[in-house]
Amino acid sequence: MQEKIKVLVVDDQKDLADEIKSVLETDSMLEVVGTALDGFDALQKMSVALPDVVLMDIRMPNMNGVVATQRIKTEYPQTKVLILTTFDDSDYILNAINYGASGYLLKDIGGNALIDAVKNAHQGDTILPAKIARRITDAAKTVAADREIKLARAFSFSDREVEVALMLYEGFTNRQISAALKLTEGTTRNYVSTVYVKTNSKDRAEAIQAIGAVL
């Protein structure tokens, strides 16, 4: 017989947490091992009964869902965290995903969809409703644009020099930069040398450090 998927529900509204618990337990494959009112409470409950999946509210007192997600993924990396909230805020979405959340759900999700999301997260899927995926894409573009503007202003880089500098920072070799930007290796070396000069660096390590300090 297949083991049940153990779930912890974290929400500062106890009535809502109990409602979610009731919905989940209509499926024979799911077992709610506890409910928690904030991030601190969740970590305490996890030390007693380790869940496979945590349904995590975002805005809670004492320790919010983003911080709690970071702590859980650090201490219990095998546990999946699904963010469940009424707030489709880009910063929260990006931070939670960056800290290892398996997905992001809005609280108006239907019962069957919620059950499916928990099962899919347990299997390793990333759960992102379409409108949230679009929001993440837009936010990521904004972050990328901000990085490019910072570098251009700090070092008077041209657009192409910004591209090369970012790829250097991300660990690309000259050959990989050449292939990605469709440049000859000689041209790439020239751009890399220019990045060294403009960042006042002797080598790749110093350039990466200078670029990182700006980003």
pLDDT tens-digit series, residues 108-157: 889 999 999 999 999 998 887 776 777 766 766 776 788 899 999 999 99
Yes or no: say if 82 and 53 are a contact pair by the CB < 8 Å rule.
yes
* Euclidean distance between CA atoms 44 and 36, whole angstroms: 9
Same domain, 25 and 122: yes
Task: Give the chain's domain count.
Answer: 2
Same domain, 110 and 167: no
Q: Which residue has the tokens 């009731």?
A: 22
Domain closes at, from 93, 128, 163: 128
Domain closes at, from 100, 128, 156: 128
Structural domain including 55 reads 5-128
Helices 130-155, 204-214: crossing angle, 10 deg rounding: 120
Q: Which residue has the tokens 């657009």?
A: 159
- On whether residue 133 sits in a domain, the answer given is no
Same domain, 109 and 166: no
Same domain, 155 and 81: no
- Token pair for 61: 């007192």
- On whether residue 105 sits in a domain, the answer given is yes
- Token pair for 120: 């899919």
Quick count: other Cβ atoms within 10 Å of Cβ 66?
22
CATH at residue 54: 3.40.50.2300
DSSP 4: P
pLDDT in tens, 171-208: 888 998 998 889 999 999 999 999 999 999 999 999 99
- On whether residue 139 sits in a domain, the answer given is no
